[in-house]
Amino acid sequence: MSIRARLDAGEPWPLGAMAREGGVNIAVFSEAATQIDLCLFDGDQETRLPLPARTGDIWHGFLPGGGPGLRYGLRAHGPYDPGRGQRFNPHKLLIDPAARRLDGPVVWDKALFGFDPDHPERDLSFSIRDSAAFVPKAVVEADPATRALRSPPDPGRLLIYEAHVKGLTRTHPQVAPEARGTFDGVAGSAVIAHLKHMGVTALELLPVWAFADEPHLPPLGLTNYWGYNPVCLTAPHAAYGPPDSFRRMIDCLHGADIAVILDVVLNHSGEGDEYGPTLSFRGLDNAAYYRLDPTDPRRYLNDSACGNTLRMEHPQVLRLAMDALRYWVGVMGVDGFRFDLAVTPARHKGAFDPSGPFLSAIAQDPLLSRALVIAEPWDVGPGGYQAGRFPKSWMEWNDLARDGLRRFWLANGRSGDLAAVLAGCAARYAPSGRGPRAGVSYISAHDGFTLADMVSYGHRHNNANGESNRDGSAIELSANHGVEGPTNDLAIRSLRDRQRRNLLACLLLSLGVPMIRGGDELGQTQQGNNNVYCQDNPLNWLDWGGADANFAAFAARAGALRARLPQLGRASFLNGFPDAKGKRDVVWLRPDGGEMSPADWDALPRLLAMRLTGAEKASDLLVLINGQPHEQSFRLPPGPAWTIALRSAGDDAPAAAGSSLVVPEMSLVALTS
């Protein structure tokens, strides 16, 4: 195809570089730039073409003869005046924030900075070094067809599995070596078979949008492994595979009836604070894309604790984000999103606003309003803890469940608090008219201890991260049970294993939407490191060869048990009152079989039995919980015959139960009728 080295006017929509009949249309937002250059690359040879037209604040042009495979970048001209919030520097090649594909990673070099990092005035200086050799080039993609709308997943049967593309597949012996660490590896039959065996109905992937390392990591031999550092909202991370591989992965997972949720970052970008690199947004229009300190526009508001905050209330920044989310649903096929630090994009005029631009834009969108949307309902800014305050259509990470389960089993918590978690945390979600499905309950996630580590370590061990063990949370509700880390003491190892089972069983037998951290079912340890964001090594890669087969089998049985009990996925909270047939949805019982009275919750702080009534022809569930250091006999409710379905101590093979049952110390038993 012949390409003319000039641009026609083109159109201001859509944003990005799009293949059209006869060429490529390019549209870029910048309200303060004086010129935007489209930079074409043939190998290392660069051709710069100023965009010839401007409609409002959208710069645009049309490249006759261009098409899929065209490699390009952007350069922006304008004032370099950090004190006034502007940092234009045409010596820096910029990533198109709406690119659909990048040809590689950011390669760290001082040329990436818009200033001279060795200059005494730092970001007030100006760099004339060209950065093109170190910046990935965007690649024009053929425009795939929009997918047919898929029915949203039933939240009542969700079991979410949080995983990392590379970590899930890097060491899997049944994944082809060339597919390990990629979308193709996740799409493999062995991985999907494991997810199905665990009862997983939704796979939540850690960030797959193109991301960069923080500048301090490469000199330490570390990387930003997790990916919470985006440089482009629509291009998949190049190391994981191209867009068509992502779409194939989606098709394979959907074919197995597994939904896909993306963990996405719209609170900050990978450009860091005022001392960070100029990779994209900063160079295109710093004051438009970012929230700046109104008293000192040289500085950034930092509600994300990652150096900057995207200005989501700006119409064009919001447009970029909404276009990206629609693309990932409508073209790439995902079923929903988990929004990292979701309070940050939901801020308006500095404060969290449930009716603000970001949340309102999603609510009114005919495509995104059908998607699963999950909030991490906090950030580090003023008034940043907003759990329970997101709109009714949203789900939220439920830290009350995480802390309540850990506190009961690992920190001598009380049965009343555990009961609140088992019942779905009504005190948090009911006041706003929401049900238990509003909460995504979990005991562990990518940040923090793994399940194995939370029963083996009393404090963090993060020296490998290069920050003298200062990073990561200093507070973990964990217990080492007598020895810090690995031990040959069989009694301690047995107790730790029982505690893992207690925690996982309570999670999967509670109301709400459960999420398990990928690798917990295999017994994965991170050696006490609770912040492995920078560890691209076996600390993060799932150890399929060293998997704890017994615990994995227990996890699969617990998942299967949940799937048989639709009352655990109910839309409304429990009330305990008799229905028209005299049945009560829940009864809380003492070990002697009597119903718990208000005084009993104080008198029996470590004992609890919960009976959940099933629907017509469905099983009832009875969970007996003994948090004491000695065994406890429980009298079983009369009526139906009870069968042991799961127990955390000893053999948990199904077995008939009599009129009473002895529950060993620090353990639980689940029975069905």
**H or E, element range at 644:** strand 643-647
Q: What is the DSSP letter of 231?
A: S
Which position has the token pair 């404060």? Answer: 351
Q: Is the pLDDT of residue 4 over 70?
A: no
- Domains present along the chain, CATH in parentheses: 16-139 (2.60.40.10), 573-672 (2.60.40.1180)
pLDDT of 26 reads 99
CB atoms < 10 A from the CB of 130, how many? Answer: 15
Q: Is the pLDDT of residue 145 over 90?
A: no
- The residues near 83 (Cβ < 8 Å, ≥ 6 apart) are 124, 296, 297, 298
Q: Which pLDDT band holds residue 30 (cuts at 50, 70, 90)?
A: very high
pLDDT of 109 reads 98
Q: Which pLDDT band holds residue 107 (cuts at 50, 70, 90)?
A: very high
Catalytic site residue 376? yes
The neighbouring-strand residues paired with 47 are 40
pLDDT of 331 reads 97
What does the mean pLDDT of the chain come to? 97
Q: Is the pLDDT of residue 590 over 60?
A: yes
Give the residue-averaged pLDDT of 597-601: 97
Q: Which pLDDT band holds residue 2 (cuts at 50, 70, 90)?
A: low
Which position has the token pair 């900063």? Answer: 282
Q: Which pLDDT band holds residue 656 (cuts at 50, 70, 90)?
A: confident
pLDDT of 13 reads 96
Q: Is the pLDDT of residue 577 over 80?
A: yes
pLDDT of 3 reads 64
Burial class of 83 by CB neighbour count within 10 A (0 to 12, 13 to 18, 19+): exposed
Give the residue-averaged pLDDT of 598-626: 94
Tens digits of per-residue pLDDT, 299-339? 999 999 999 999 999 999 999 999 999 999 999 999 999 99
Distance CA 377, CA 497 (A): 31
- The residues near 439 (Cβ < 8 Å, ≥ 6 apart) are 395, 396, 398, 400, 401, 424, 425, 428, 429, 512, 513
Q: Is the pLDDT of residue 83 over 90?
A: yes
For 331-440, where are the alpha helices, taking DSSP H only? 357-364, 399-410, 415-422, 426-429
Catalytic residue from among 376, 396, 548, 652? 376
Distance CA 648, CA 73 (A): 57
pLDDT of 457 reads 99
**CB contact at 8 A, 627 and 666:** yes
Tens digits of per-residue pLDDT, 446-469? 999 999 999 999 999 999 999 999
Tens digits of per-residue pLDDT, 490-548? 999 999 999 999 999 999 999 999 999 999 999 999 999 999 999 999 999 999 999 99
Read off φ and ψ for residue 83, nearest 5 degrees: -60, -25
Q: Is the pLDDT of residue 1 over 60?
A: no
> What is the value of pTM for the model shown?
0.97
Of 146 and 61, the structure prediction assigns the larger pLDDT to: 61
Tens digits of per-residue pLDDT, 257-268? 999 999 999 999
DSSP string, 109-169: -GGGSSS-TTSTTGGGS------GGGSPPEE----PPPPPPPPPP-GGG--EEEE-HHHHH
pLDDT of 580 reads 84
Catalytic residue from among 340, 396, 476, 600? 340
Distance CA 588, CA 620 (A): 13
The neighbouring-strand residues paired with 293 are 296
